[in-house]
Chains A and B, each alone.
Chain A
Amino acid sequence: MNSVMTAPRQEETVSSKSRPLTGNEAIARGVWEAGVKVAAAYPGTPSTEIMENVARYPVEDIHAQWSTNEKTSLDVAIGASFSGVRAFAAMKHVGLNVAADALMSFSYIGVNGGLVIVVCDDPGIHSSQNEQDTRVFARFAQVPVLEPSDGQEALEFTRVAFDMSEEFDTPVIVRSTTRLSHTRSAVKLGTRRAPDSKGFIERPHKNVMIPAHARMQHPEVLNRVSKISEAMNSSPLNRVDKGDSKLGIITSGISYTYVKECLPDASVLKLGASFPLPETLIREFCASVDQVLVVEELEPVIEDALRIMGLKVEGKAYFPRVGEFSPEVLRAGFAKAGVMKAKPTEAAFEFAPMVRPPVLCAGCPHTSCFMALRALDTRVAGDIGCYTLAVVEPLKSMDTCVSMGSSIANAVGMAKSGVETKPIVATIGDSTFLHSGIPPLIDAVYNNANITVFLLDNHITAMTGGQDHPGTGKTLRGEDTSRINFLELVKALGVKWARVVDSYDMASMQQQLREAIDFKGVSVVISNRPCVLDPVKIKGPAMAVDQDTCIACQSCMNLGCPALTWSDEWYEGRHKVKIDLEACIGCSLCAQLCTSDSIVPATVQP
């Protein structure tokens, strides 16, 4: 095995072939090149495309799968590592919370086959519920964390992480961020090198974490971190860009590119790994410059560590601890620190941009569910999925949203509080239900909570772009597999009242939901229509509004459907409505709501 610490940055096996790859595609390539045998993930923006791309490599080379949740995916990878092959799991930052239980123990156990977890953080919260920093988690778990800064490094660091994992007997985290994962740049490709399987090694003191064994392993973990820290001093993962000795900048990951954009002449210590830190290298660098600034997105992980080392550095005094970095953010910080001139901030145009929040798609089967919930004046415990968009007007019928699978247990708590006067409903999507909704449903049945669970089954993991799950009957590679029957599943769990309703039948939806709410105990309503985008884009005959008969009552506009907008015609001071024929998929919900029967298929319009 090539030692990580001596391996050249570019190996001779690298061909001159280069391709435009996103960070996620480059990571997937790195996984394949490293000879990984088993890879598992649960989809989550911005990490989703990693596993989708891993699955594009030959099935003989690598087994790639969607798991039901992040912990399961990590446990699958750990199992493969026990068997002596290289193993991989990918997840978003909050996914690591779900997988944390396995990670914390596995850190004590160490690896047989190399194991790498790619975790994609979301600074700026483009598509998440928080912006936690995975580097804090890595330190907590005493697991090294590598931070690539561009597509090329995303590939190379991923590959190197496997060597590192095996050399130091540790799981390794590669941390990406939304910006890196979704930036496409030219990446030089290498070839695949698959190490031979070592087979399972029977060593209970290392593989079975009973207290006696764990007590022995903990000192090993601390020892391991010191060894890696020492080796990092000379690792090519860390490097110094020699420049002006007046100012030294210590940075990592994507922030490095912003630093180079703003201050191309400064001395920069680019850390490829923000845990563990190379102490000697850092001390040498700090001694070689007059002033040191630490530039890192989110938490002051490096800055705090340097302060503990007794070094005089500044960071979060100038650069924000919240949000995503950009050249503008860094310029403002450098100006505040007095190392760069402030840029005049006069904008050429001064007007407030129009608000355009994301909306449920035209024909989205979730729409009628939330129309009904609002009409029935319910207290809705929500969950993670496209349907979280029902929190805003006009659907405005979601009261809470915490984390994956929280809705049902949140509803149980509301019911048991004894003070909620409205009917309590938990809404949860099919994929989220399978991810972490089943134990709380059992909890609700077990404790006889008076709640209604609204299982919004659109037959796909929709928000992340249409991934299969156990309820679709297809695997990641598109093979047929057994398909979960939700009605039978919830009945097997002990639910006494469970029915399936058609999301495109507004009246039935209201009726069934009303009956479910009237039922004392746990009732489950399963809405049943496929997502209009995935796996196939649904497009039926479009509807149109008869402008002669529309009385502009706005009932249809309460759907919030993006195919509906105001026309140029008026009725008693209100806009009549028109339908975008390209966008409309013909779900007919608006026609069902229309009080003047003005909405008809476009083909019968004059």
Chain B
Amino acid sequence: MSDHKSGPTNVLIVGVGGQGVIMVSKVLAQLCQNHGYEVKQSEVHGMAKRGGGVFSHVRFGPKVWSPTIPEGEADILVALEWAEGLRWINFMKPETGTFIADCQRIVPPFACRNRGRGAEATYAPQTPEEIIEQVHAGYAIDATSMAANLGNSKAANTILLGALSTALDFPVEDWLDVIKGFVPPASVDINMLAFQEGRDWAQAGEKRIDETAKGLHQTHDTIRHNQIETTVEITADWCKGCDICVKMCPERCLRLNDKLIAELALPDLCTGCRMCEWLCPDFAISITNTPILEPAE
């Protein structure tokens, strides 16, 4: 726990819209207020909740001015999703910051845009090992799986609160009291268990990586999938310009030319999926996927 005399304690809570960032920060803010601190909790609403990144700043102490945490001054960073944690990692105090992140990945559709052969999703490539090694105190916890094992995947946030509780000086009973007020009555028991599980897990060391997280996020062996060359042959005499291939091409790389004959307009985008070949009612399209045995130097 950081020294309050030198200013407020700063906890930054981040995640993806819909995960419960606001709930986690409300619990913490309520707890701090119950303990007589001045608290400011700042969040974003609106567009951001549609699956985009979400953050909430919680600052507490004898006096708090700015509602946002200055960059490099967060005592604790709690990430409900791995890559969101990395996005904000420079907001942590470099020497003394604590990093608590769920190691589960939420890979957005935007990350799956590179359709090139063998291309990986553009997800953060940093492994938990690399990150945890470099921070003062760090936890890559598989809260999502732990919660699922308890029988309620929504309790992942409470597991993270349990881990967070080890980095702050509030009595366990006070945490549990506040959490009870924020979860549905039917799930109080499971959340109490979840809190304790998260707390126990984090208490086992200053740096810890969940077994399931080890080796995650390593880049794939892309060469294996690159060894195919595609050629698209369109027999103009057979094409009647029905437009089916153009409309159905997943990469939208075909078009009808001036004479209303199909042509490959954007060959770089073609992945050789054969959709056009299969759908052409006139057998005018032929795709050849040739394996390249010797990878080019």
Contact = CB atoms under 8 A, between A and B. Distances in A.
Interface of A: 20, 45-46, 48-49, 126-127, 150, 178-180, 182-186, 254, 257-258, 260-261, 264, 326-328, 331, 343, 347-349, 351, 353-361, 375, 386, 389, 392-394, 463-465, 551-555, 557-562, 564-566, 570, 572-575, 582, 595
Contact of A464 (B33, B46, B247): B46
Given A186-B33, A327-B68, A349 B50 contact: no
A183 B67 contact: yes
Contacts of A570: 225
Contacts of B72: 343
B47 A179 contact: no
A185 B121 contact: no
A261 B65 contact: yes
Contacts of A465: 45-46, 49
Contacts of A264: 65
Contacts of B66: 257-258, 260-261, 326-327
A574 B115 contact: yes
Interface string B91-134: 01010000000000001111111010110011110100000001
Contact of B134 (A49, A150, A348): A348
Task: Indicate the member of B64, B66, B134 with the most A CB atoms within 10 Å.
Answer: B66
B86 interface: yes
A464 B40 CA distance: 23
A326 B68 CA distance: 7
Given A126-B47, A464-B46, 6 more contacts: A264-B65, A551-B273, A554-B271, A555-B248, A566-B121, A572-B273
28 contacts: A20-B39, A127-B48, A183-B41, A183-B43, A258-B65, A261-B66, A261-B70, A326-B66, A327-B66, A347-B90, A349-B90, A351-B86, A356-B53, A356-B87, A357-B110, A358-B52, A359-B50, A359-B51, A375-B247, A465-B49, A553-B273, A555-B275, A560-B109, A572-B117, A572-B272, A573-B225, A575-B112, A582-B153
A178 B44 CA distance: 8
Task: Indicate the member of A179, A257, A358 with the most B CB atoms within 10 Å.
Answer: A358
Contacts of B30: 20
Contact of A573 (B45, B50, B123, B228): B228
Contacts of A558: 250
Given A45-B47, A185-B38, A357 B52 contact: yes
Contacts of B92: 348
A394 B45 contact: no
B42 interface: yes
A50 to B, nearest CB: 12
A354 B89 contact: no
B247 to A, nearest CB: 6
Interface residues of B, number: 69
A360 B250 CA distance: 19
B16 interface: yes
A348 B77 CA distance: 14
- Chain A at the B interface: mostly helix, strand, loop or mixed? loop
B6 to A, nearest CB: 13
B275 A358 contact: no
B149 to A, nearest CB: 15
Nearest to B16: A356
A335 B71 CA distance: 16
A20 B66 CA distance: 16
Task: Indicate the member of A127, A264, A464 with the most B CB atoms within 10 Å.
Answer: A127
A153 B114 CA distance: 50
Interface in B11-27: 16-17, 26
B288 interface: no
B247 A554 contact: no
Contacts of A360: 50
B226 A573 contact: yes
B164 interface: no
A179 B68 contact: yes
Contacts of A182: 42-45
B65 A260 contact: yes
Contacts of A261: 65-66, 70
B109 A572 contact: no
Interface string B203-239: 0000000000000000000000110100000000000
B226 A358 contact: no
B289 interface: yes
Contacts of B273: 551-554, 572, 574
A328 B33 CA distance: 26
Contacts of A46: 45-46
A354 B42 contact: no
B52 A359 contact: yes
B65 A553 contact: no
A348 to B, nearest CB: 4
Given A357-B52, A359-B51, A565-B112, A557 B250 contact: yes
B79 to A, nearest CB: 12
B140 interface: no
B130 to A, nearest CB: 10
A185 B64 CA distance: 10
A356 B134 contact: no
A572 to B, nearest CB: 6
Contacts of B94: 348
Nearest to A49: B45
B262 interface: no
Contacts of A349: 86, 89-90, 134
A562 B51 CA distance: 7
